[in-house]
Amino acid sequence: MSFGLLQSRPAPSLAATVCAILYILAFSPTTAAAESPTNIGSNDLDGYNLDLELGDTYEPSFAPFDSSYLGRRASVIGPLVNNMPAKSNLKPGEAACYQLKKGDVFTSSTSSGTKARDFDFDTAVAAINASSGADILGRDDNQSIPIFLSANTCLQPHRVPGDDKADIEPPQLTLLISNSSQLGCPDLSMQETPSIQKKAFDGGAVMFNMTFTDDLYISVQAPNVSSSYEGVYFFELASSTEAYYHRYVGKDGQLLWLDSDATSALLVSKNLTTDADKAHQIMEDGEVYQLYVDNELFPRLHGVRHSTCGLQTNAQIYATPNGTGNLNELVHMTMTTRGPGGFPKQQFFVTGLNDTTEYRGIIVKAPNATAGKRDGEGTVGGGGTVFASTTFNTVSGTSCRRQPRKKCEAPSTKMYSLLKNCDDCRRTYKKWLCTVVMPRCEDYTLDSPHSVVRNAGQPFPNGTRLPADALARYSAPAFNTSRNKFIDDEIAPGPYRELLPCDDLCYEVVQSCPSALKFACPLRNFREFNSSYGKRDPDNKEVTCNYPGEPRTRVSAAAGVVLNAAFLCGTVLLGMGFLY
pLDDT in tens, 448-484: 888 889 988 888 888 889 998 888 888 888 888 888 8
Does the pLDDT value for residue 572 go beyond 60? no
CB 57 within 8 A of CB 92: no
- Alpha-carbon distance of 81 to 308, in angstroms, equals 20
More confident residue, 66 or 498: 498
pLDDT of residue 236: 97
List alpha helices for 37-101, DSSP H.
67-70
Q: What is the DSSP letter of 476?
A: S
- Alpha-carbon distance of 329 to 351, in angstroms, equals 9
More confident residue, 274 or 165: 274
Percent of the chain topping pLDDT 90: 31
More confident residue, 447 or 269: 269
pLDDT of residue 425: 85
Q: Which of 539, 502, 570, 551 is nearest to 271 (CA)?
A: 551
- Alpha-carbon distance of 99 to 81, in angstroms, equals 10
Q: Say what the pTM is.
A: 0.62
Q: What is the DSSP letter of 501?
A: B
3-state secondary structure 337-369: CCCHHHCCEEEEEECCCCCCCEEEEEEEECCCC
pLDDT of residue 399: 58
As a whole number of angstroms, the longest Cα–Cα distance in the chain is 97
CB 108 within 8 A of CB 118: no
Does the pLDDT value for residue 383 go beyond 80? yes
